[in-house]
Structure 1
């Protein structure tokens, strides 16, 4: 039995790592396709004679597509399975990349970006769920965070690619995305279905077979399957998400999704070159400094992937968010006092880097992980659709209003406003976000049902117990 378990441990970990790696390619495409437009747009403006409105429409089409894609993917994944839904997203990535790379008109560009958005939205909704439902509780955090790591690596790759190909064709910038899309599509064809989706659809022996492939032993797999069956329920309608017992999960996950955007990370990422140029750096230097921001995001996400399973999800958020508040307060001060050039420019760079690390290493790490963990199996797909929809809706709002905020309030007050939102995020996590480290998805569902899910609910339960 000892040798058999040792073999099972090796193959189980190897398979879950392979599943997480192939699935996370969807995150790589997510990051690359959203980030590359910032470099490609410089050439697109000239070739297609885009005015400001045209550039905004071409840029925003991908966000609108993502919003539609994530809301539709939940029902599709519940019906045909997580794996097949990821394959559909991969096919859309391929189609969108081919169309955008060969576009001869603005209309085709917009349609292609919309298709890529559908793929990104579907991937952001379903890939974290698929990884979470296959992973063991003790490794679920770092494996799901691998998706976010792939996203920030894709963003950084787009910054580097845009800089290196700044004198080449924009078609090549977009076309590079075909390779990871093909890897995702072919790789998913060889991966197993989610055991929890199989069990939910009555395919118990198929679920057992998958669990035995990805767990340390057959006994561990069988115990987990019994727990899944014990909590087994039919697919629930959208209205289930509004029921009081599910509401704490909705509050925690959607709250993190909204705050991930409203705390300003994408605003800083989108406009980092502009921020650095205003601080006194030349255009090329500003672009290179933006690459440094992307590298900082990668390292912060790697750290977060370690911390979510070592410190815990909630603890990570509470330890990192105060650093983001301080960094934004400093950034706002440098702009309010017009400290550009010389030492002021380097303080600005340090503040942007610090904010990026503290925010990316906390909220950006937690958004897809917490969303994939907290919902009951019967409405997990639909719940994650709302998480992804909240993320993309807030992203669209932030991308459309950041420059207006800077013009209306000034850069200093804008960054102070973001600092205040980060402080609010700390309070929100303290009150509404539970610790999910090391707990099975079924344990978290039981906490929802017995009313001890959110920290505030558990505090009330303890007070009532002492009173009795």
Structure 2
């Protein structure tokens, strides 16, 4: 580690803000941003294959479950365990990956994630029984947690500020594409036993991710923090447009790296870190409490139990996958043009209304064409609005606002929170539907959407177009994080 001249802050202290002169001059509105080197898009595209695997391995269970429950004689509780164990693994993977990334680097962790993805997919495909399938899906969960925790951080730390939003949302778009591919495979391989092929197909993108990452650079911010400024300079020169002031960016990164955080979990208790940690953990929790994965995991099962045929339920699942992809593309544009905060405030109300309509549609038996079309349209509208307003932002906001010194473990904690609430939803969704019905369950999710809107309005700052270092300086000023960032 390089020698740091900055005095280490004690827990609870608020470090002095960096000089305002370090803030880059604002670009006139009429001046177009500099062209982004193709290498930046290549880095983002290859690393975002982790998102494709994440989406495929979490989404494939939706179609596979219709035949798994017959082939392996699974009860409702057994189905919830098979679905949920991947999320338990994801919690462990997210927690471990943050610590490993702080020590060994972001790139090394993503390569390891690819290996674990391939091993877990192969094991699930050849599982001889329920026990071995559960074990294989736990291994897959380790990879999902590692990918969701580290791929967004890796992209955030390599991308220029003016395209960082859309490149990070590329990860969520790849998650959506992975889920769509999973739904298509579930429909195409609908015969009994086809679930083995569904699981095995994930080996292909896992190998592509591992091989592709071998040719990509390490995060320049991790390199600076570990005394390798020369390597960081070479990476930035490769990934920044001609004429970019690499030395100035290096100086800003070095200043943030010397800001009094060592990358340990105890640093998360520092008072000045708490506002960013609250936002990252809060958004992670609401991304699940608003109901998205109850729909993604169980939509075909819910629809079949409500009287839809198997084919209609699976085709509706494909439609949900299409909506997720559309939401990913729209979100990628919106976060950089409209802003992160405004995107949430514009689309989350639509998510709440659509979920409320879905709750009303299930008040009585779904036995008429009008009711069934209401269910399908409300499902699609919910997925679209929640996908743009929440899912496009959830993997973006944490790596942006969390300070460099604790970004690895803090992002890991936020990701553990996300997977923890995802696990809660996965374990309780079918049980809740049996206890209070579809209507009561979906009404709860609608209320969570409303609560999320209030949280965003009160706590979430706008980070569009700002460097990671300028966001950290606003956080260090103390007081209201949202107002401090708005004033810079």
Q: Which moved more, 1:63-72 or 1:232-241?
A: 232-241
| TM-score normalised by the chain length of structure 2 | 0.89
Answer whether contact 1:431 1:454 (CA < 8 A) is retained: no
Larger CA deviation: 383-392 vs 57-66: 57-66
Q: CA deviation at 1:52?
A: 4.2
What SS does the aligned partner of 1:382 have? helix
1:47-446 matched pairs, under 5 angstroms: 47-167=71-191, 169-217=194-242, 219-233=244-258, 235-277=262-304, 280-338=307-365, 340-446=367-473
Cα deviation 1:131-155 (Å, max 9, x = unaligned): 0000000000000001111111111
Aligned length: 452
1:4 corresponding residue in structure 2:
none
- 2: CA distance, partners of 1:259 / 1:85: 27
**Of 42-51 and 77-86, the range deviating more from structure 2:** 42-51
Query: How big is the shift at 1:100?
Result: 1.8
Asked whether the equivalents of residues 280 and 414 of structure 2 are also in contact (C-alpha less than 8 Å), the reply is yes
Question: Over residues 102-155 of structure 1, what are the superposed CA-to-partner deviations in whole Å (9 max), with x where a residue is unaligned?
Answer: 222333222211111101100100000000000000000000001111111111
Distance in 1 of aligned mates of 2:480 and 2:245: 25
Q: Is contact 1:165-1:173 (8 Å) kept? A: yes
Q: Conserved in 2, the CA contact under 8 Å of 1:134 and 1:194?
A: yes
For 2:364 and 2:110, locate their aligned partners in 1 and report how far apart those are by CA, in whole Å.
49
What are structure 1's unaligned runs of at least 5 residues? 1-8, 463-468
Unaligned 5+ segments in structure 2 are 1-33
| Contact kept? 1:273, 1:283, Cα under 8 Å | yes
Provide the C-alpha distance between the structure 1 equivalents of 2:72 and 2:297, rounded to a whole number of angstroms.
Answer: 22
Distance 1:44 1:277 in 2: 15
Distance 1:67 1:291 in 2: 27
Cα distance 1:56–1:280, how it changes in 2: closer, same or farther (>3 A)? closer
Aligned-residue offset at 1:192: 0.3
Cα distance change of structure 1 residues 417 and 237 upon mapping to structure 2, 3 Å threshold: same
Distance 1:359 1:279 in 2: 23
Question: Cα–Cα, structure 1 residues 453 and 438, in superposed 2: closer, same or farther, change >3 Å?
Answer: farther
* Superposition CA RMSD, Å: 1.9
Q: CA deviation at 1:277?
A: 3.5
Deviates more, 1:100-109 or 1:154-163: 100-109
